[in-house]
Amino acid sequence: GVTQSPTHLIKTRGQQVTLRCSSQSGHNTVSWYQQALGQGPQFIFQYYREEENGRGNFPPRFSGLQFPNDSSELNVNALELDDSALYLCASSISGQVYGYTFGSGTRLTVV
Amino acid sequence: AQSVTQLGSHVSVSEGALVLLRCNYSSSVPPYLFWYVQYPNQGLQLLLKYTTGATLVKGINGFEAEFKKSETSFHLTKPSAHMSDAAEYFCAVGGGGGNKLTFGTGTQLKVEL
């Protein structure tokens, strides 16, 4: 399956954070979603073969990386209080949304 | 653009009663439709999906949903609620070659004795 780390973390406003995701074996696409409290997940961006392949309505301080070994990162710079959320990673084959497998998420709290 | 509306942010049913969670979608292309369940402090688990073909879709844990194009709906049902069904449920739409899912705001299901 898809594993995410860490499961929880607390950061201070203005800091930077890196969240990690290990995709399901054989999947070449990773998508990241932000789920604020009481809301549905919102698409941040997708990476396919190590290149960004679509982005939602998120500022450039949200960035990502995808590595050849099925792992990926979500980086957020200059953290704001509103960045507090559950961040979900989903892997799939060639970006096919009907084949998403979600991880359990990382709960980020910004204070 | 695609969007999802889930009617009722909170639904309460008695154990053994019918579960009906409502979802309406908007899509300019033939949609793929999904229902996910989320338990506290966990990620999303796929209940069922519609891509093409039969419009009545059966999923896990006794849930099913029917794609009604004329009504732009994809309501989730279960004949008899169980205490373990208490969770948050999200309807989502994708498709048209797009690479993302658009989720509704969720429905919290409470099951009472």
Query: What is the distance between the alpha carbons of residues A30 and A93, in angstroms, rounded to a whole number?
Result: 9
| Chain A residues 12-41 within an 8 A CB cutoff of chain B | 29, 31, 33, 38-41
> Could you tell me if A58 lies within 8 Å of chain B, comparing CB atoms?
no
* Nearest residue to A3 (alpha-carbon basis) of A101, A109, A108, A107: A101
Cα distances (Å, whole numbers) of residue B93 to B24, B49, B99: 10, 10, 11
Categorize the per-residue pLDDT at B29 as very low, low, confident or very high, splitting at 50, 70 and 90.
confident
Q: What is the largest CA-CA distance in chain A?
A: 38
> What are the tokens at A33?
């979603």
> What are the tokens at B31?
């949609």
Residues of A in contact with B37 (CB under 8 A): none
**Cβ contact B100–A46 (<8 Å):** yes
> Could you tell me if A87 lies within 8 Å of chain B, comparing CB atoms?
no
Residues of A in contact with B43 (CB under 8 A): 4, 88, 102-105
**Cβ contact B100–A39 (<8 Å):** no
- Residues from B in contact with A at Cβ < 8 Å: 4, 32, 34, 36, 41-46, 49, 51, 90, 92, 94-95, 98-106
Apex A107 CA angle, A101 and A108, nearest 5: 130
* Nearest residue to B34 (alpha-carbon basis) of A28, A1, A100: A100
Mean pLDDT, chain A, integer: 94
- pLDDT score of A98: 78
* Nearest residue to B13 (alpha-carbon basis) of B89, B102, B91, B86: B86
pLDDT digits (tens, 9 = 90+) for B82-108: 999 999 999 999 987 778 999 999 999
**Cβ contact A46–B94 (<8 Å):** no
- pLDDT score of B101: 94
pLDDT digits (tens, 9 = 90+) for B32-86: 999 999 998 888 999 999 998 899 999 999 999 999 999 999 999 999 999 999 9
- pLDDT score of A69: 82
- pLDDT score of B17: 98
pLDDT digits (tens, 9 = 90+) for A85-101: 999 999 998 877 778 89
Residues of A in contact with B10 (CB under 8 A): none
Flag whether pLDDT at A12 surpasses 80: yes
Categorize the per-residue pLDDT at A26 as very low, low, confident or very high, splitting at 50, 70 and 90.
confident
Query: What is the distance between the alpha carbons of residues B72 and B96, in angstroms, rounded to a whole number?
Result: 16
Nearest to B44 among A43, A95, A102 (CB): A102
- pLDDT score of A44: 97
Alpha helices (H) along B1-113 = none
From the DSSP assignment, how many helices (H) and strands (E) are in chain A? 0, 11
Residues of B in contact with A4 (CB under 8 A): 43
User: Chain A: residue nearest B32 by CA?
Assistant: A98
Q: Which residue carries 């910004």 as its tokens?
A: A110
Residues linked to residue B107 through DSSP beta bridges, in sequence order: B89
Mean pLDDT, chain B, integer: 94
